[in-house]
Structure formats: structure tokens, C-alpha cells
Amino acid sequence: MKRFIQHEELARDSRFVRQDNAQSTALASLPDDVEMVVNVFEQFSPMIEASVRGTSAEPLFDAYGPGFALTILNEPLDPDAPAGLTRLLLRMHGIFVGELQALEGAARSLWDFPDAPWEFKMNMARQAWDEGRHVQIFEKLLSHLGGEVGMFPESTFLFECACSEDPAMRVAGVNRGLEGLACDVFRDMIKYAEKTGDEKMKQAVDYVLADELTHVRFGSEWVREFTKDDPEYLKRTQEYRRTVDKQFSFGGARSDREDAAIPIAWDDRLEAGFTEEELVDLAELSGSGPSKKTLIEAAKILRERHAAKKNASKSSPHEGVQS
């Protein structure tokens, strides 16, 4: 068995639908410019349409066009909002596949770094069990909400970004970048469950969040250990984590901005071992993407153009047929 695998090689059963990661990558680096956001999404439109075909996201594409993800990602979860359940399921499915990739990342660290210290292997083995349980938990929560595995396409963007071939960067990416994002998302999910009185979801996600704090701590300790006595290596590792954090901010959807769909879980992150300085840095770099106003404006234009295109194809059914 070879060391290191690419995200395209992650094995899935027939229920899963794979989404191209290019969309997530582009979203992570968009500027605060309406026209630019519209252009990028129009360019990706055929790819987005193909990836949602046959999934529960297909009606969202039909209704909102290629920018449907902008609406989903950039609005806080609200049970009373239109398509509130679909958006909740989309987020829950995203968490489920995120946990799956975290399981694969942690377990793979055991194989990819055979010469790592024994305590590192013990931590990764423990994390593999925890992530396996998290996959089971979110599969059950998905079902609890009326959803199912494979109802939305899976982007393997998290694995692609976080799974470096360097051990310090792997733990910086997976345990501090990905698991840090999990802290933010889960705190938000707990608040949502409190709001809707969903005790089952609240308790389950609270347990998962407790595990994630432990995983972030593993990351903080191993980054320190792997880079000790090598400030240059530590600097490169921190830069790598900043890049991952920027990508995992989804253009500002996860940030410390007032309009963020997923706020940074400041207290949980401090408890997990992030420093104030790191969190200030995270708030700054995650908030530098397009503003919510820009994204809403872009989503509106994309929706209008999508509707116009659909109407045009309806009114001229023989378009493209040579007379």
C-alpha cells in the first residue's frame, strides 16, 4: 500500500455523489466584487449543475441557479426561513462528509507517517475512533431530520486542503484547521438545536464538540513537538494553517463578522488551545472575503439570469434546430 493518497482516491459506496472541488476553491479566494463573483459562478454553472443532478440540491439549483450555495452558505440557519429544512439538511450532510474525511485523514496519518513518535500514533488512533463515531452520529442525525446519505453531492475539499504530506502540516491542517472549523460549526448547531428545542441534536453535537476540543489540543501539542528547535519550520507550518483557515472560511461565511453564517467559536477555541493572537489573526483573514451584501447581490443576479435563461429556453423550444 502506497503512502499518501489524493482526495480523488477516497473510496465511497454507490450512494455518494462527488462534486468537483474547484467551486469551493474559487469561493475561498473570491474578492469583494459582485461582478467577479457572478462571473466565477456562471463559469462553474455547468459543473455545479452536473454535480447536483439527481440529488436533493437539484431543486435548489432549479430555483436559484448556480449561486444557490451563496444563499445556503451565507445565511444563518433559521427554521422559519424559506427552504429552512433543506438548508439544515445540506449543512448536516456537509458535516457528515466532513467527519468522514476527518476519519480518513486521522486514520491515514497512521499509515503515512510510520516513523512518527508512538504517542502521536496513539493520538491519531484515538481520533480515528472518535471520527468514526462522529460519522455514525451525523448519519443518525441526518436521518433524524428526514435526510439520507448521498442526498447532496460531496466535496472532498476538506481532505484536499488539510491532508499535507508533512506531519506537522497534516496536524496543523486537520487538527487545527479542520477541527477548528468543526468547533465553530458545532457551536452554531448547538445554538440552532436550543432554538428549535431539539434535545437529541443538542446533546449529540455537544458531545462531538467536546471530542473536537481534544483533537485540536492534539494538533496544538504535535505542531509544537514536530517543529521544536526549528523556528523556520514552525513559521511554514503556521502559514500552511493560515492558508487552510482562509480556505475553510468559505469567503467569509465562517468568520467573526457580524453577518457571518458561522461565527468563530471564540471560547471553545481558547479552551482547545488556540491563543488570543491566533484568533485575532483568524478573524482578520476569514473576514477579508466578499461581504454578505456582495454575495446577496451576486446571488440575486445569478438567480435572475438563471430564470431568464430558463424562460428563454421555454419560449423557443426549437432553438438550435436548423430550419
Partner 1 sequence: MSEQRMYPGMSPEEKTTFAPYSAFDIPADLRELTGRYDVEAMARRCRNFRYAEEWMMMLLGGWVATIPELPVKTGLGKIIWETAQAADVLGKRLPELRCGKKAVDASESANAAFATFIQSVCEPERPDLTIEKLAGVFDVLMPHLVDVYEQTMRETDQICDAPTIELLDEIVRKRRRHIAWGREVLDRLSEGEALRERRRVRVAKLNEELHASGGVTGTLGEPRGALN
Tell me the closest approach of the beta carbon of residue 272 to partner 1, in angstroms.
Answer: 21
How far apart are the C-alpha atoms of 103 and 118, rounded to whole Å?
19
18 belongs to the binding site for partner 1 (CB under 8 A): no
Residues 272/213, Cβ–Cβ less than 8 Å = yes
DSSP 138-161: HHHHHHHTT--TTSS-EE-HHHHH
Tell me the closest approach of the beta carbon of residue 62 to partner 1, in angstroms.
Answer: 29
1 belongs to the binding site for partner 1 (CB under 8 A): yes
Please give the grid coordinates belonging to residue 234. Answer: 514552525
The interface with partner 1 within residues 136-155 (CB under 8 A) comprises: 136, 139, 149
107 belongs to the binding site for partner 1 (CB under 8 A): yes
User: Considering CB under 8 A, how many residues would be counted as binding partner 1?
Assistant: 36
197 belongs to the binding site for partner 1 (CB under 8 A): no
* Collapsed DSSP state (helix, strand, coil) of residue 263: strand
Tell me the closest approach of the beta carbon of residue 126 to partner 1, in angstroms.
Answer: 6
111 belongs to the binding site for partner 1 (CB under 8 A): yes
How far apart are the C-alpha atoms of 158 and 178, rounded to whole Å?
7
How far apart are the C-alpha atoms of 29 and 27, rounded to whole Å?
5
How far apart are the C-alpha atoms of 41 and 39, rounded to whole Å?
6
160 belongs to the binding site for partner 1 (CB under 8 A): no
> Within a 10 A sphere around the Cβ of 136, how many other Cβ atoms?
12
300 belongs to the binding site for partner 1 (CB under 8 A): no
319 belongs to the binding site for partner 1 (CB under 8 A): no
131 belongs to the binding site for partner 1 (CB under 8 A): yes
124 belongs to the binding site for partner 1 (CB under 8 A): yes
Strand partners, 262: 254
Contacting partner 1 (CB under 8 A), which of 125, 234, 285, 307?
125
Q: Which is closer to partner 1, CB of 118 or CB of 314?
A: 118
97 belongs to the binding site for partner 1 (CB under 8 A): no
How far apart are the C-alpha atoms of 191 and 286, rounded to whole Å?
21
Q: Which is closer to partner 1, CB of 13 or CB of 80?
A: 13
Tell me the closest approach of the beta carbon of residue 48 to partner 1, in angstroms.
Answer: 25
Whole-angstrom CA distances from 112 to 4, 5, 22, 107, 163 are 6, 9, 26, 9, 10
Residues 223/168, Cβ–Cβ less than 8 Å = yes
The alpha carbon of residue 186 and the mean position of all alpha carbons in its chain are separated, in whole angstroms, by: 12
* Collapsed DSSP state (helix, strand, coil) of residue 122: helix
179 belongs to the binding site for partner 1 (CB under 8 A): no
Contacting partner 1 (CB under 8 A), which of 21, 32, 56, 133?
133
Contacting partner 1 (CB under 8 A), which of 63, 83, 121, 206?
121
Residues that bind partner 1 (CB under 8 A): 1-2, 5, 9-13, 100, 103-104, 106-112, 114, 117-118, 121-122, 124-126, 128-133, 135-136, 139, 149
